[in-house]
Amino acid sequence: MIRRCFQVAARLGHHRGLLEAPHILPRLNPASAFGSSTDSMFSRFLPEKTDLKDYALPNASWCSDMLSLYQEFLEKTKSSGWIKLPSFKSNRDHIQGLKLPSGLAVSSDKGDCRIFTRCIQVEGQGFEYVIFFQPTQKKSVCLFQPGPYLEGPPGFAHGGSLAAMMDETFSKTAFLAGEGLFTLSLNIRFKNLIPVGSLVVMDVEVDKIEDQKLYMSCIAHSRDQQTVYAKSSGVFLQLQLEEESPQ
Amino acid sequence: MLRSCAARLRTLWALCRPPVGRRLPGSVPRPELRSFSSEEVILKDCSVPNPSWNKDLRLLFDQFMKKCEDGSWKRLPSYKRTPTERIQDFKTRFLDPKLMKEEQMSQAQLFTRSFDDGLGFEYVMFYNDIEKRMVCLFQGGPYLEGPPGFIHGGAIATMIDSTVGMCAMMAGGIVMTANLNINYKRPIPLCSVVMINSQLDKVEGRKFFVSCNVQSVDEKTLYSEATSLFIKLNPAKSLT
């Protein structure tokens, strides 16, 4: 059943499959789990009160560049509509009360699951990052500092760690900008190696939303813009989450 | 009398003292890093079965070990850290020595080996030199989650990058990823086993073109496809 769902989804290249078979994958419907307003979606994603630990907050491992840029963006959250996204240990915490569409949801008693980009919890050793999102412009900025456990070539971040950070930023942007849920494609052009412990600024934009796909692009660069680390584009599949059945 | 007592005490103390693990220069043993600072852990080959490997992974491992018997395939060992000699070699050939921080290097670990057994990337790579093929058997653990119950797209990208990168390295020595292009067809369930089958397609000067696909154990499900370009590093040009 899962395979069939994705065979249908994979035919998005021709678009017809999804549109002709609404009974397999739910069509986007205003009267859905999110309601008609983005407010309710945001309030689910950004709970006002929560006991969950937010990992996207400054700690002792953050370099001075990252701290000062973080402050600049905090100012923008007050003045120009930017939102600082919380970052919990598991993606499940971000969608409480919701689940993947039936057919895709897998019961998971795998024990302690963690979102990949929060896999290493020791401060400063793995992914240190925070994402700011601007809903009207459909833009995101991710401040990313790779730690020594993300090493690839000696002294530099593993290419996969940047790919992961790009995929994650695309993922949260796609989710909030248009209910994007699964990566369809990722295309990364690496330009320069990233020294471990340095700050990477990632600018992400939603270029277009078409035929239930979100198209985004990203430029990862140094704070002073003098070094471009990589450029990438990502395409995500729009899919609505469903309400979890009351237990 | 006191002198002989002191001598005896000193011998006793020397015998009771715990063996000192060799610590890398400049590093301070912190509780959370203690398990990684001893020589034995760093030099442990991680690409062999451990209790977290599920049935599928063990079966595939045995199948490929059989293929190694006639020498056409070779299993690649995999360590938590690049051996010191290789680090020195890389530094002297490609880096500006003034800019590298010694302290950071000593804490570093290869990203794909930064996890305890079964939690992250469990994998082993096999190489066929004649066909220029690198196969990676990969089991993704619960710390690699993306959508609930599935592996994060970035974790898949990391494993693809590692596999095609190794394939390029076998042919070209020290290389750097230039392009990585991944098409995700189906999400991979957490804790399942997949085969990443990569192939060196073409070499043009310092450019190495490698493609791969990610399949289920029975080869009936195609999860993703990728193409990549690696560039052989030029020792004449510094990276920093």
Checking if the pLDDT of B24 tops 60, the result is: no
Least confident of A231-235, B32-36, B142-146, B177-181: B32-36
Distance from CA of B3 to the nearest CA of A (A): 49
Nearest CA in chain B to A231: B179
pLDDT of amino acid A108: 60
Residues in B closer than 8 angstroms to A196, CB to CB, are 104, 108
Distance from CA of B16 to the nearest CA of A (A): 33
Residues in B closer than 8 angstroms to A113, CB to CB, are 142-143, 145, 148, 190
Residues in A closer than 8 angstroms to B123, CB to CB, are none
A207-225 as b/e, with b when 16 or more CB fall inside 10 Å? eebeebbbbbebbbbbbee
Which sequence spans correspond to the domains of chain B? 55-78+119-232
Interchain proximity B178–A189, CB inside 8 Å: yes
pLDDT of amino acid B168: 96
Q: Tell me if A212 sits within 8 A of A18, measured CB to CB.
A: yes
Residues in B closer than 8 angstroms to A100, CB to CB, are 147-149
Q: Active-site residue numbers of B? A: 161
Interchain proximity B105–A154, CB inside 8 Å: yes
**DSSP 3-state percent helix, strand, coil across chain A (nearest 5):** 30, 30, 45
For chain A, list the domains and their CATH numbers. Answer: 38-97+112-238 (3.10.129.10)
Could you give the dihedral angle defined by the CA atoms of residues A80, A42, B182 and B55, in that order, rounded to the nearest 10 degrees? 140
Q: Tell me if B195 sits within 8 A of B60, measured CB to CB.
A: yes
Q: Tell me if A213 sits within 8 A of A3, measured CB to CB.
A: no
Tell me which range, A203-217, B83-97, B105-119, is most confidently predicted by mean pLDDT.
A203-217
Residues in B closer than 8 angstroms to A165, CB to CB, are 154
pLDDT of amino acid B239: 64
In terms of Cβ atoms closer than 10 Å to its own Cβ (0-12, 13-18, 19+), residue A185 is buried
Pairs across A and B, CB distance < 8 A: 193
Gap between the Cα atoms of A161 and A145, Å rounded:
10
Interchain proximity A106–B112, CB inside 8 Å: no
- Give the mutation candidate from A112, A190, A231 for the B interface (greatest B CB count, under 10 A): A190
CB-closest option in B32, B145, B148 to A116: B145
The CATH number of the structural domain formed by B55-78+119-232 is: 3.10.129.10
What number is the ipTM of this complex?
0.82
Coil, strand, or helix at residue B20?
A: coil
Residue with tokens 């793995």: A126
Task: Work out the number of other CB atoms within 10 angstroms of the CB of residue A23.
Answer: 7
Contact of A122 with chain B, judged by CB distance below 8 Å, is answered with yes
pLDDT of amino acid B93: 75
Average pLDDT of the segment spanning B126-146 = 95
Digit-by-digit pLDDT tens for chain A (247 residues) are 555 545 544 444 443 333 333 333 333 433 333 443 456 667 777 777 788 899 999 999 999 999 999 999 999 999 999 999 999 999 888 887 788 887 777 766 657 899 999 999 899 999 999 999 999 999 999 999 999 999 988 899 999 999 999 999 999 999 999 999 999 999 999 999 999 999 999 999 999 999 999 999 999 999 999 999 999 999 999 998 888 777 5
Gap between the Cα atoms of B97 and B88, Å rounded:
10
Q: Active-site residue numbers of A? A: 167
Coil, strand, or helix at residue A54?
A: coil
Cα–Cα separations (whole angstroms), residue A100 to A155, A240, A241: 39, 8, 5
pTM: 0.81
Confidence of residue B95 (pLDDT cuts 50, 70, 90): confident
Interchain proximity A158–B109, CB inside 8 Å: no
Nearest CA in chain A to B108: A148
The residues in A 157-176 lying below 8 A from B, measured between CB atoms, are 157-161, 163-168, 171
pLDDT of amino acid B105: 53
What SS3 string covers A142-162?
EEEEECHHHECCCCEECHHHH
Interchain proximity B180–A190, CB inside 8 Å: yes
Gap between the Cα atoms of A16 and A22, Å rounded:
11
Distance from CA of B11 to the nearest CA of A (A): 40
Average pLDDT of the segment spanning B154-175 = 94
